[in-house]
Structure 1
Amino acid sequence: MPRWFTALFWTSIAVAAVVVGLSSWDALSASPPDAGPAVKRAVRIDRDEWGVPHIHGRTDADVAYGIAQAHAEDDFRNLEEVLAAVRGRAGAILGEEGATLDYVSHLLDARAIADARYNDLSPDTRALVEAYAQGLTDYARRHPGEIRLQGLFPVTGRDIVAGFVLRSPFFFGMDRVLGALNEGRLPPRDSGPADERGSNAFAVTAARSDDATTRLIINSHQPWEGGVTWWELVVHSGEGWDFAGATFPGAPFPLLGHNRNLGWANTVNRPDLIDVYKLVLNEDRTQYRLDGKWLPLEARRVWLRVRLGPLVLPIPRMVYRSKHGAVILNDLGGFAIRHTGIGDVRQIEQYYRLNKARNFAEWKAVMAMQAVPATNFLYADKEGHIGLFYNALFPDRRPGFDWKGVLPGDTSATLWSGYKPWDAIPMVVDPRAGWVGNSNNTPTVATAPDENLQAADFAPVLGIETYTTNRMHRFAELFGGVNGPISRAALLRIKFDKGYSRASVAGQWIAAVLAVDTNGKPDLAAAQALLRTWDWTADGRGRADSLAVALMASVGREVYRGDALSPAEPKLREVVDALMASFGRLDVPLGDFQRLRRGGADLPVFGGPDTLRAIYASVAPDGRRVANNGDGFIMLVEWPNDGAVKSRSIHQFGAATIRRNSPHYADQSPMFVREEWKNVDF
């Protein structure tokens, strides 16, 4: 829970008690919108031996209805929470944590934008989201015992669109901006999400492979549970929509994967797409100055419904807006926030169109919509085309301002309204080297060194990231080490690599740990001696692996965000004390130290923070690292020159996301930890 919201909550609770006494205020809320008459759907849902739904429909809208039904069967809890956040009612389910989402939804005006711009979507896209909403509503009506929040259903197409509006800015750093400003601090100068939110993606052409096969590896890193965890599906429509991949709760189509002819992976990129403005306010903070004129600061009181024990209480909160965007008032003044894609709802249209693109030309034409404001796309197809596209909706900013800092808010010279064209983004297409890759790193490392982009070719005002990751260093080193054809086996060795590069920040960190003065500290000296034997891999074969992984995890967030590393000695002390307290030794086998736990499964899992076999974890009460993020849904897609597309996939748990009694709750976990695949029946 963010500190800023916790303070808001407790200072407001007395007000809430006066307003409603001890009643449950959420029960008095307005009725949900009318979803309109139900439409009969021609849809069939088949599940394969792993419980993965294969959804068949007469039309695309029928398929979307089936997606909602099947996803609700597996994960109704997370779907309900996503919908509650869109309606400003997540706090009534999740307490303070949910109320944070509600506040942000009001602040960013997600629902109002969805309502105002809904008709920007094409009729068939509106039909798609309305059918998906109907599917969720029908499921809730048939399963009333699963509903935790009364009055949330029926769901409308506008709810689904508002969910995209709300969540999109958080993939390029909105949480860090809001957190800082609400805590009375200036926002960070660097961009990107607050926590490790990574991914890998690789493609190799048929010409570079040893068997005339183009290959794509989809390897998105997301939390293993919650509202942005992957759920696998395969869809087939009589209108030509055939796609296999994965999606998030609340999305009426796969967000990544492949159709018969092409496919893509997404990796989080971190360009500077959020601008913060210092407003000049009048004395009572009701007006702001812009171009010499005083304009009214829009102010609106909202009520956040927050569960506190058995009660749901209303917490009052003011939200503000200027012409720039959302405004936060704190002790430092008034700050407006403007982000790329503000006011646009067409992201949902673009993803749908990408699903149905039939070739590279069509796919690029859809990408030129520029409705998906950020995230790398790594592409491959049956014709042998591959590419890395640093997709970002770059604001058309004027030179001469410090766009990474806080901007003057009293001049329209900083108030951009347009964007750079899509063909201005960094992209590497069909390189002679025959491979492309990305691991949340600068786009200037994407293929062989002599074909990489040059940072000097892109204006600094664009705010293109300069981040590097250990995963980037490793894939560059490993691809560079293959002189001949890149076989499937070689590609998978790269994907599941568990090494750390001495050229990465990991090398700097280990050097700092080994340089700690341990004179008079024999336990720290013993840790250094063990660390010197480490082979720089987290494969479970060395005595120092657990110590090294724990040390890497201790600075994982700093490394991901590009922050300065913490002093080494306190981190070394923390890790040594924790290992000794839980295990009584430093040379704990990694398989004992790092586990995958799900239902009755308790399995060793290898890899570590920022390895290509990425494993992020929380520390359990028994001192073990329990994986909760990183490698999750993974897909290997292959287009042989003389045959149809084939794909394999694996999920860290299984298809039944929340159904503990299902045989598919954790049936893929043993294969996942063994780094094995299952076939996708496409």
Structure 2
Amino acid sequence: MKPFYIFSLLFISSSAWSQSFSAAEIAAWKAQAQGITITRDKWDIPHVSGKTDADAIFGMLYVQCEDDFMRVEDNYITNMGRMSEVEGEAYLYQDLRARLFLDTNRVKAIYQTCPGWMKKLLHAFADGCNYYLYTHPEVKPRLIKRFEPWMPLMFSEGSIGGNISAISVERLKNFYTKNHSTSWRFKDWQEKEWEPVGSNGFAIAPGKSASGHALLLINPHTTFYFRSELHIRSEEGLNVYGAVTWGQFFIYQGFNENCGWMHTSSAADVLDEYLETIEWKDGKPFYQHGGTLKPVRVEKIKLWYKDGNALKQKEFDTYHTHHGPVISEKDGKWISISMMNEPYKALAQSFLRTKAKGYKQYNKAMDWRGNASNNTVFADSKGNIAYWHGNFMPKRNPSFDWEKPVDGSNPLTDWQGLHPVKETVQLLNPGTGWLQNCNSTPYTAAAAQSPDPKKYPSYMAPDPENYRGIHAVRVLKDASGFTLDKLIETAYEPQLPGFEPIIPALIKAYDEYTDKNPRLTEAINVLRQWNYKYSLESQATTLAMYWGEKMLTYTRYHLPEDEPNDALSLTEHIIKRSTSEEKIKQFNLVLDELTRDFGSWKIAWGEINRFQRLTGKIRETFDDQKPSLPVAFTSSHWGSLAAFGARTYPGTKRRYGSVGNSFVAVVEFGPRIKAKSIVTGGQSSNPNSPHFLDQAKMYSEGKFKDVLFYPEEYQKGANRTYLPGK
């Protein structure tokens, strides 16, 4: 790491990021806007129509900026590795992680090689954002005063974390600050999402539906407000509705009139760590590979970060082998990492699949193999239901253990190209008449009709089972006669199977306990009578949630590094690795905490578990003294299909949700699309808008609104229809 340099913020902001728009640009934007129509329906959902795909994308980005420019800009600041310029030094190594894989120079070069059709879309993206800034001079960007057409190539999949989120910032920081500690596991767990993010997807075949048409559940679990509900149409065949990640020009999870797709985060092995044997010669690093020494590529990365009223710069010497960038060190060996780094393919696939007319075209779009972070649950109007586990899948020598870092000096560990899509784990029209994925193993996706694990390399699907997957199979396996409403009811079934093994273990510990008291006995009896279902009135849900979380923290802290820590394994660890005394001790701490905070441990779940939206800012604040709504559904860790990850915040005793169900939809693919959806709070991020909280009560109760897909539907009772800039 090199010394830093200090410059004034004024100097930086007045140079690179204060470009004005030319008269010719403005005239071109105004002319294009004349052919774009935006209709805001009664829920304020934007329906954007244009003659060409590029027109629709121009309008799509314009309305995203209208609804939440702050989040659009934030995503690009993050993905360009520039967050430390606006947030300070704490984000320096997050930015370094981004820059190790993609920098603006490389992305600009990729942009130059893009075909004409893609360049039109990329320019439409930039033009839509810039026209918004031109027509809204009161909006003051934190950093990006001009959007460029190459920017979407730095943010191409739309997943909440993307591939690089698998790389620990702490490990990266330790290596590049020469602090080569490897004791990072528990600390890394603490840094990650405290609530597991993921998603649920269900596909129902015609034989299991009441109408004889296929149905699809789209249920991503993300941080709240990470995506927006939107509809775009063009005369070039674009007609797609669903959830768009702020700042992107494709619907990430959604449907068109022919088919729909739901992405769930995948644990398919799409990246590998390599142990590199390093030798230094004349002050330069080399690594062993195939009996020879190869030079380590050294690249200088300069990062600016905000420090008070000044910008400081740090310069890093970063290291790359042919496997990829070096991210850490262990036992004297450097660790490099290989992962998908093909932004054009990822972006092309993400857009083209939205125009698929059915299974065959969607499967053809998968041939781009640019989806490295997601599984896909699919249904179409021809009655097909399908599942793909991952997409980008490197070929590897099966004699190595790919769940651990492999020897980078052995050429046999190098990737041997990619598996074609037909070789990956997938399902088409299983005999069950349904399929599901809840970030769980694909080998239970359709019960007995699931893929056979013996037919695939172990690295294709190392995903463990989880309690949502178990729960999904239970509710789907014997059900039939699905309608949209029945599919919603199924997606909110209140059982919590994750507690079924551990509550009996707690009760057994109590029965063996000698120091009983009336309070403890009464509380345990509440759990004895519990049916493992959440509800607003349930005191047992409160006790179970608080105790379960304490046991997870206790277990993770005491768990050896090489032990599995997936949900089902953690259950076994809770049961077997904690004594009866420890189980009771943690339960007594729960009773103490509830009594301290609420005056009694006898507190209904709905009194504690709340939805609240106050500011619309990216970092929302919460306040026990301000209005909030009770929510029954809860943490996905315990198998709640409808996910609501909540916790306390500074100054609060109640728990407020910020991750889980976000945009949720159910779709029926008949001659005409029928669909229902719900989002957290409402479409607008402006607290003064009537659409800031107009969906909040429905969201908290698991009730949905009708999707207005056809012009005659969304134009009736529309809030307003206008052109961009008007």
Tell me the TM-score normalized by structure 1. 0.88
Alignment match, 1:355: 354
Over residues 317-364 of structure 1, what are the superposed CA-to-partner deviations in whole Å (9 max), with x where a residue is unaligned? 332211111113547445343333234421111111111111221111
Larger mean CA deviation between 671-680 and 205-214 belongs to 205-214
| Residues in 1 aligned to 2:354 and 2:311: alpha-carbon distance in whole angstroms | 41
**Partner SS for 1:252:** coil
How do 1:158-307 and structure 2 match up within 5 A? 158-164=150-156, 170-171=161-162, 174-180=165-171, 182-183=173-174, 184-185=181-182, 194-195=192-193, 196-225=196-225, 229-283=226-280, 284=283, 286-307=285-306
Larger mean CA deviation between 415-424 and 178-187 belongs to 178-187
1:646 alignment partner, one of 674, 680, 695: 674
Residue identity opposite 2:706 in structure 1: N
| Residues in 2 aligned to 1:361 and 1:45: alpha-carbon distance in whole angstroms | 32
How do 1:5-44 and structure 2 match up within 5 A? 15-16=3-4, 19-20=5-6, 26-27=12-13, 30=16, 38=25, 39-40=28-29, 41=32, 42-44=35-37
Query: Deviation of residue 316 (structure 1)?
Result: 3.5
Inter-CA distance 255–168: structure 2 relative to 1 (3 Å threshold): closer
Larger mean CA deviation between 67-76 and 93-102 belongs to 93-102
Alignment match, 2:635: 609
2:541 alignment partner, one of 542, 545, 550: 545
Backbone CA RMSD of aligned residues: 3.0
Residue identity opposite 1:615 in structure 2: F
How do 1:484-499 and structure 2 match up within 5 A? 484-499=480-495
Query: Deviation of residue 385 (structure 1)?
Result: 0.7
Inter-CA distance 515–271: structure 2 relative to 1 (3 Å threshold): farther
| Residues in 2 aligned to 1:571 and 1:268: alpha-carbon distance in whole angstroms | 32
Larger mean CA deviation between 250-259 and 320-329 belongs to 320-329
**Partner SS for 1:50:** coil
| Residues in 2 aligned to 1:145 and 1:444: alpha-carbon distance in whole angstroms | 53
Residue identity opposite 2:166 in structure 1: D
Name the % identity.
23
Structure 2 residue 524 is matched with structure 1 residue 531: no
Alignment match, 2:617: none
Larger mean CA deviation between 578-587 and 97-106 belongs to 97-106
Query: Deviation of residue 578 (structure 1)?
Result: 2.6
Instruction: Report if the CA contact (8 A) 2:500-2:532 is conserved.
Output: no
Query: Deviation of residue 87 (structure 1)?
Result: 3.5
Over residues 241-294 of structure 1, what are the superposed CA-to-partner deviations in whole Å (9 max), with x where a residue is unaligned? 001111111211211111111111111111122211111112456222222332
Inter-CA distance 437–329: structure 2 relative to 1 (3 Å threshold): closer
Instruction: Report if the CA contact (8 A) 1:84-1:90 is conserved.
Output: yes
| Residues in 2 aligned to 1:555 and 1:664: alpha-carbon distance in whole angstroms | 40
Residue identity opposite 1:55 in structure 2: V
Instruction: Report if the CA contact (8 A) 2:73-2:247 is conserved.
Output: no
| Residues in 1 aligned to 2:344 and 2:413: alpha-carbon distance in whole angstroms | 24
Alignment match, 1:500: 496
Inter-CA distance 25–216: structure 2 relative to 1 (3 Å threshold): same
Alignment match, 1:3: none
Alignment match, 1:632: 662
How do 1:63-78 and structure 2 match up within 5 A? 63-78=56-71
Over residues 585-610 of structure 1, what are the superposed CA-to-partner deviations in whole Å (9 max), with x where a residue is unaligned? 22211111100001275100111112
Larger mean CA deviation between 39-48 and 196-205 belongs to 39-48
**Partner SS for 2:442:** coil
Structure 2 residue 520 is matched with structure 1 residue 520: no
| Residues in 2 aligned to 1:74 and 1:217: alpha-carbon distance in whole angstroms | 25
Over residues 209-255 of structure 1, what are the superposed CA-to-partner deviations in whole Å (9 max), with x where a residue is unaligned? 12323211101110004xxx110001111211001111111211211
Instruction: Report if the CA contact (8 A) 1:194-1:561 is conserved.
Output: no
Residue identity opposite 1:514 in structure 2: I
**Partner SS for 1:157:** coil
Structure 2 residue 42 is matched with structure 1 residue 49: yes
Query: Deviation of residue 516 (structure 1)?
Result: 4.1
Instruction: Report if the CA contact (8 A) 1:274-1:337 is conserved.
Output: no
Over residues 113-136 of structure 1, what are the superposed CA-to-partner deviations in whole Å (9 max), with x where a residue is unaligned? 423333554321221122111211
Instruction: Report if the CA contact (8 A) 1:395-1:417 is conserved.
Output: yes
Inter-CA distance 440–34: structure 2 relative to 1 (3 Å threshold): farther
Structure 2 residue 570 is matched with structure 1 residue 578: no
Structure 2 residue 602 is matched with structure 1 residue 587: yes
Instruction: Report if the CA contact (8 A) 1:320-1:326 is conserved.
Output: yes
| Residues in 2 aligned to 1:529 and 1:100: alpha-carbon distance in whole angstroms | 50
| Residues in 2 aligned to 1:339 and 1:179: alpha-carbon distance in whole angstroms | 19
Query: Deviation of residue 75 (structure 1)?
Result: 1.0
Over residues 358-416 of structure 1, what are the superposed CA-to-partner deviations in whole Å (9 max), with x where a residue is unaligned? 12211111112211123111111111111121123221111222211121122322121
Inter-CA distance 144–33: structure 2 relative to 1 (3 Å threshold): closer
How do 1:41-440 and structure 2 match up within 5 A? 41=32, 42-119=35-112, 121-150=114-143, 152-164=144-156, 170-171=161-162, 174-180=165-171, 182-183=173-174, 184-185=181-182, 194-195=192-193, 196-225=196-225, 229-283=226-280, 284=283, 286-330=285-329, 332-440=331-439
Query: Deviation of residue 205 (structure 1)?
Result: 1.8
Larger mean CA deviation between 141-150 and 599-608 belongs to 141-150
Instruction: Report if the CA contact (8 A) 2:214-2:380 is conserved.
Output: yes
| Residues in 1 aligned to 2:44 and 2:552: alpha-carbon distance in whole angstroms | 34
Residue identity opposite 2:209 in structure 1: S
Alignment match, 1:5: none
Q: How many residues align?
A: 653
| Residues in 2 aligned to 1:96 and 1:556: alpha-carbon distance in whole angstroms | 32
Alignment match, 1:660: 687
Larger mean CA deviation between 124-133 and 338-347 belongs to 338-347
Query: Deviation of residue 299 (structure 1)?
Result: 2.3
Inter-CA distance 580–370: structure 2 relative to 1 (3 Å threshold): same
Query: Deviation of residue 536 (structure 1)?
Result: 0.2
1:475 alignment partner, one of 464, 472, 482: 472
**Partner SS for 1:140:** helix
Larger mean CA deviation between 296-305 and 360-369 belongs to 296-305
Over residues 496-537 of structure 1, what are the superposed CA-to-partner deviations in whole Å (9 max), with x where a residue is unaligned? 112122xxx533333443344654374555543332222201
| Residues in 1 aligned to 2:137 and 2:569: alpha-carbon distance in whole angstroms | 48
Inter-CA distance 286–636: structure 2 relative to 1 (3 Å threshold): same
Residue identity opposite 1:175 in structure 2: A
| Residues in 1 aligned to 2:521 and 2:101: alpha-carbon distance in whole angstroms | 52
Inter-CA distance 293–286: structure 2 relative to 1 (3 Å threshold): same
Inter-CA distance 312–233: structure 2 relative to 1 (3 Å threshold): same
1:454 alignment partner, one of 452, 455, 465: 452
Instruction: Report if the CA contact (8 A) 1:370-1:393 is conserved.
Output: yes
Inter-CA distance 287–572: structure 2 relative to 1 (3 Å threshold): farther
Q: Which runs of 5+ in 1 are unaligned?
A: 1-7
Residue identity opposite 2:155 in structure 1: G
Query: Deviation of residue 639 (structure 1)?
Result: 2.2
Inter-CA distance 172–85: structure 2 relative to 1 (3 Å threshold): closer
